Every structure is written in structure tokens, then in C-alpha cells.
Amino acid sequence: MEEQRGLIHRIERFSLHDGPGIRTLVVTKGCPLHCLWCSSPYTQKPVPEILHIRNRCRGCGSCIASCRLKAISGSCGDPPVIKTDRSICIGCGECVSACPNGARELSGILYTPEELFCEVEKDAAFYRRSGGGVTVGGGEPTAQVGFVGKFLSLCVSHFVHTALETSALTPWESLASLLSHLDLIYIDLKHMDEVKHREWTGVSNRRILENIRRAAREKSMILRIPVIPGFNDSAENISESAKFAKELGANLLRIELLPYHQFGIHKYAELDRDYAIESIRPPSDEQMARLRDIAREAAIAVEIGG
């Protein structure tokens, strides 16, 4: 039988914003949504990808010489012009090893559940001292539900606090299979209107909303609303979202309003992609405070930021 493995973008240690205490964030790769504002394009495709960090490139040509598929080409002048044909590149990582300047990185490494647990267990002392643990995010971790479930079960068996960050766009059976391994679940609530949701994310919100309702009956939950100007920052949508959250009952701990930022724009360039909404600016502190106050009218806990 083939050994079960999962594709991981990276492991972030000493995270303070993805659950209680000091945590290790496991970032999975692959997501069924196509959110226009996504700040983590590395995690969207369920395959290994090569990142090209241009400001480190010195034009030595080592990457070109190392690529057996001839997916890399260009000139080594000043400035260097190096291009990757991503229709040919298979993300093998040979150019990453060949680059002497760290201008190429590999996003996507395969782990078995046991290998991944060995990595996060290195931080166990911090979990115990801070009341922290492990959070699995992405991407969309439910897209690798068998692998993630096995990994979380290893964490639970070693008394590690577990949390999941998810869009909840998955069959209920997949999400339900993970709940027994979780202490806490974060779910994004992007928009209450199905048409608007589909326009900006590429998918309907119907399954997401139903999964939120069902998961809230079983597990402590935090809803996160990424506040995107022009998309979901209207008083009407925030009010409707808060009323929906209020109906979830006692397992809802709070809503977190996450202000849109532009920190991920450079990541698109590293994948040779354009960023669709570069003209949108982050909401002001005053706007965020106003939306927080609107959401609090539903008599639920609301915070700005995670």
C-alpha cells in the first residue's frame, strides 16, 4: 500500500495569531477557491511550484543550466531577465539547489503524517509553557482530508492542542471527520450574498454557510471576516454576517474582522502572475472600528484582527 503523504507549503513556528498560546502553523497547499484578494498565492495550486525572487537574482545562469526540462530561459545581463515556462516546469527543485543566491525557492514539500508530526513536535516545550499547540491552515486543509486527519490524530494522541483554519468549502463528511481531532476551528465568512461571493471567490457560499451551521453545533468556533473594500465592507453585509453568527449559539467564541492588506502582492510576481485588485487600498482604522461596532449590535464578541 502506498504511504499517505500530504503537500505542505511551509511550517511556521512561533505563530501568535492562529490560536491560543505559541503555535506551529502548518500551511497546506491547494485550495478550491479563487479569492481575488488572496495574499497566499503559493498555497492555491495543489502541486509543487518554484518561486523566483528577482531581487536576489544575479544572472549567473545556474538555474538555466540545471533545468533538464529546459523550462528556464533568459539573458544574464544587468539586470538579468530570467523566465520560467510554468507549462513545462514540474517543480522538481533542481534549480533551487543550483542557485547560489537563494533567488529560487520551492513551495510544496511532501510529508507523511508521521514526518510532519516529528517536525511540529520540536516545538512541544513552547506549547506546554504557553498553552499553545498546532494549527493547520492553507490553502484549504480539507482538500487533503485523509492526510490532515491522520496528522491531527497524532497531535491529539500526544496531548497537543489542535486548531484548523478552513474555508469550509468541502463535503460535510470531510469536515465532520476532522472535528473529533480538533479543539478549535476557524472558518472564513467572506460574504452573505451568494452572487457577490461567487463573483469574488469563484464559488457559491451555500455549502460554506451550511457547514458553518453544522460545525458550530459540535465545536468551539471563531468566524473570520476578511474585510475587503468594495466587496464585503458594507454596513448591510457586516450586519447580516453578525446576525448569522449570533444564530450559531454558544460554541461561537467571537468574530474576527481582518482588514485587507497588500502584503502578498510581491508573491504573485514570484509566481509570474498578476495581482487582480492592486488598486484597492486597505480600510482605515476608523472604517474598521465602525464595522466592529455594527457587528457588535448583534450582541456577540467582535475583535479587529486575529
Lowest model confidence (mean pLDDT) among 6-10, 79-83, 173-177, 261-265:
79-83
Has residue 25 been placed in a domain?
Answer: yes
What is the tally of structural domains in the chain? Answer: 2
Do residues 76 and 168 share a domain? no
- Cα–Cα distance measured from residue 207 to residue 172, given in angstroms and rounded to the nearest whole number: 8
Residue 6 burial class via C-beta count within 10 angstroms: exposed 0-12, middle 13-18, buried 19 and up: buried
Do residues 205 and 166 share a domain? yes
Has residue 273 been placed in a domain?
Answer: yes
Do residues 142 and 65 share a domain? no
The predicted model scores a pTM of: 0.94
Do residues 82 and 123 share a domain? no
Has residue 24 been placed in a domain?
Answer: yes
Do residues 129 and 84 share a domain? no
Share of the chain above pLDDT 90, in %: 95
The pLDDT mean for the chain works out to 96
Do residues 196 and 77 share a domain? no
Do residues 182 and 229 share a domain? yes
Do residues 41 and 160 share a domain? yes
HEC secondary structure over the chain = CCCCCEEEEEEEEEECCCCCCCEEEEEECCCCCCCCCCCCHHHCCCCCEEEECHHHCCCCCHHHHHCCCCCEEEECCCCCEEEECCCCCCCCCHHHHHCCCCCEEEECEEECHHHHHHHHHHHHHHHHHHCCEEEEECCCHHHHHHHHHHHHHHHHHCCCEEEEEECCCCCHHHHHHHHCCCCEEEEECCCCCHHHHHHHHCCCCHHHHHHHHHHHCCCCEEEEEEECCCCCCCHHHHHHHHHHHHCCCCCEEEEEEEECCCCCHHHHHHCCCCCCCCCCCCCCHHHHHHHHHHHHCCCCCEEECC
Residue 1: is its pLDDT beyond 60? no
- CATH number of the structural domain spanning residue 295: 3.20.20.70
Has residue 83 been placed in a domain?
Answer: yes
Residue 2: is its pLDDT beyond 80? no
Q: Which range marks the domain in which residue 54 is found?
A: 49-107
Has residue 1 been placed in a domain?
Answer: no
pLDDT in tens, 180-218: 999 999 999 999 999 999 999 999 999 999 999 999 999
Do residues 53 and 40 share a domain? no
Do residues 116 and 222 share a domain? yes
Do residues 70 and 113 share a domain? no
Q: Final residue of a domain: which of 83, 107, 131?
A: 107
- CATH number of the structural domain spanning residue 83: 3.30.70.20
Do residues 155 and 297 share a domain? yes
